[in-house]
Amino acid sequence: MIDSRTFGSGVQGKNYLQLQSTRPRPEFSRLVGFILLDHFSLPSFTQALDTLVTANLLAAGTFATQTYSPTGAEVLSDLGLVIRPDGDYRAAESARFDLLVVCGGLRTPLELDPRLKALLVRAAKQQVTLCGLWNGAWQLGQAGVLDGYRCAIHPEHRSAFSERVRGCKTSAESHVLDRDRLTAASPSGAFHLFLEWIGAQCGSALADGLVNILAFEESRFRQVNPTLKVQMTPPLREVVTLMEANIEEPLTIEQLCDYAGRSRRQVERLFREQLDTAPMRYYLELRITEGRRLLQHSTLSVLEVAVACGFTSVTHFSKRYSAYFGYPPSKERRLKY
pLDDT at 304 over 70: yes
Residue ranges of the alpha helices (H) in 143-278? 155-164, 187-202, 204-214, 216-219, 234-245, 253-260, 264-275
Check residue 227 and give its pLDDT.
40
pLDDT at 223 over 50: no
Per-residue pLDDT tens digits for 33-78? 999 999 999 999 999 999 999 999 888 889 999 999 999 999 999 9
Weakest mean pLDDT among 58-67, 226-235, 316-325: 226-235
Per-residue pLDDT tens digits for 241-279? 899 889 999 999 999 999 989 999 999 999 988 888 899
Residues 6 or more apart whose Cβ sits within 8 Å of residue 56: 62, 63
How far is the C-alpha of 175 from the C-alpha of 134, rounded, in Å?
10
pTM higher than the cut 0.75: no
Residues 6 or more apart whose Cβ sits within 8 Å of residue 188: 47, 174
pLDDT band at 3 (very low <50, low <70, confident <90, very high): low
Portion of the chain with pLDDT greater than 70, in percent: 86
pLDDT band at 224 (very low <50, low <70, confident <90, very high): very low
User: 78: closest CA among 145, 162, 136?
Assistant: 136
Check residue 147 and give its pLDDT.
94
Per-residue pLDDT tens digits for 172-194? 889 999 999 999 999 999 999 99
**Full set of structural domains in the chain with CATH:** 9-214 (3.40.50.880), 222-331 (1.10.10.60)
- Between these two residues, 34 and 95, which has the higher pLDDT value? 34
